[in-house]
Structure 1
Amino acid sequence: MEFHSTKLRDIYLVQLELARDNRGFFARTFCTEEFAAYGLETNYPQHSISFSARRGTLRGLHYQRDPHAEAKLVRCTQGAILDVVIDIRLDSPTYRRWQEFELSSVNGHQLYIPKGFAHGFQTLSNNAEVNYLISTAYKPESAHGIRYNDPAFGISWPLPVTEISERDLSWPDFSSGPSTVHSTASGLEV
């Protein structure tokens, strides 16, 4: 695997190294030793999958508040998505900045998202499937999010939104309260 740093501190785009032969290819998608060498999370007790039938579906932007903040390793295994992450760590030099990444079954890229980032995506194809390795079990009481069109960020999604949950439409403006912010130093929300 190749780990590429991004414009956002602690986010990595992970490129698979394919061993090809006449049967196709083989690649590692995770290696504890390699992730540890970069100081990344290596324990993922929860593995999840999402499937979105319609192009333009929007999921997110989600995160879990402390003490259940989560790191994620995200990979699109069918179709294509535009993945967006926002740094919501108060003491980060990239606080409130966001970046987008195209993840697809063709490019095979994975995105490492540490604790303290909101994460969401829009499907660029029909029948998009996304796999997640997640460092913490889901805790509904800690689940929170940022609305996809929150004016604090001005994210320009590539397609009209065809499907979105009521919950994702109802997140309050990010600037309306400090309770949604995570600190990198203490690991505690403020």
Structure 2
Amino acid sequence: MIQTTALPLSGLLLLQPKVFTDERGYFFEVNRSSELKDSIGDFEFVQESQSGSVQHVLRGLHYQLEKPQAKLVRVLTGRIFDVVVDLRRQSASFGHWYGLELCSDKKQQLFIPAGFAHGFLTLSDYAEVAYKTDQYYDPASERSIKWDDPELAIQWPMQQAPIVSAKDAKAQSFASADLF
């Protein structure tokens, strides 16, 4: 009972589960393998990670080069502005970015194919984000692109300078990044 919407970049999908609500609250299936396979294809997710971030934290833009990860992203608490950048040279959407707001209220999941950089900005006071990957985290393969790269010109919805990690502050430009 997943409604799947193709987004503007090749392979990027928004998944909306059927949510059942009543006076007690809500219920929905986060993961039903057969429906997920129908929506995104045959992926085996081998790792699930979770982050908690205060407002104005910006994480990314991250990707793994030698062991690229497909991701299934979901917001557990709060709201984020989620951004992906297509790094696949053979793709019609190469070098393009797409951003959308994800929030815990809508229960949506974003499927990001391998070959994309990913990041997000926390919009609410606090947000928890969970994501499943089809490859294990590999520190030697990890790469980052500057969140404010002028060539990408991502339109982040921010009211002030973001809070970024020291590692993300030193990220490469898109022009000098290792690509797929």
Bin for the TM-score computed over the shorter chain: over 0.9
For 1:156 and 1:139, the matched residues in 2 are separated by 29
For 1:86 and 1:148, the matched residues in 2 are separated by 10
Q: Deviations over 1:114-139 (max 9, x none)?
A: 10000000000111100111111111
Tell me, yes or no, if the aligned pair for 1:58 and 1:161 is still in contact at 8 Å. Answer: no
Q: Which runs of 4+ in 1 moved over 6 A?
A: none
In the alignment, structure 1 residue 37 sits paired with structure 2 residue 35: no
The structure carrying a bigger strand percent of its residues is 2
- Cα-Cα RMSD: 1.3
Q: Deviations over 1:45-90 (max 9, x none)?
A: 111100012x111000101112x11011001111100000011001
Corresponding pairs, count: 178
Give TM-score, length-normalised by structure 2: 0.94
Tell me, yes or no, if the aligned pair for 2:49 and 2:132 is still in contact at 8 Å. Answer: yes
In the alignment, structure 1 residue 63 sits paired with structure 2 residue 63: yes
Where does the alignment leave 5 or more consecutive residues of structure 2 unmatched?
none
In the alignment, structure 1 residue 142 sits paired with structure 2 residue 141: yes
Match of 2:51 in 1: 50
Q: How does 1:130-169 map to 2 (within 5 A)?
A: 130-159=129-158, 160-169=160-169
For 1:65 and 1:121, the matched residues in 2 are separated by 19
Where does the alignment leave 5 or more consecutive residues of structure 1 unmatched?
183-190
Q: Amino acid of the residue matched to residue 8 of structure 2?
A: K
For 1:116 and 1:101, the matched residues in 2 are separated by 19
For 1:127 and 1:12, the matched residues in 2 are separated by 25
How far apart are 1:38 and its partner, in Å?
Answer: 3.5
Give TM-score, length-normalised by structure 1: 0.89
Identity fraction in percent: 37
Q: How does 1:88-127 map to 2 (within 5 A)?
A: 88-127=87-126
Tell me, yes or no, if the aligned pair for 1:57 and 1:161 is still in contact at 8 Å. Answer: no
How far apart are 1:39 and its partner, in Å?
Answer: 4.5
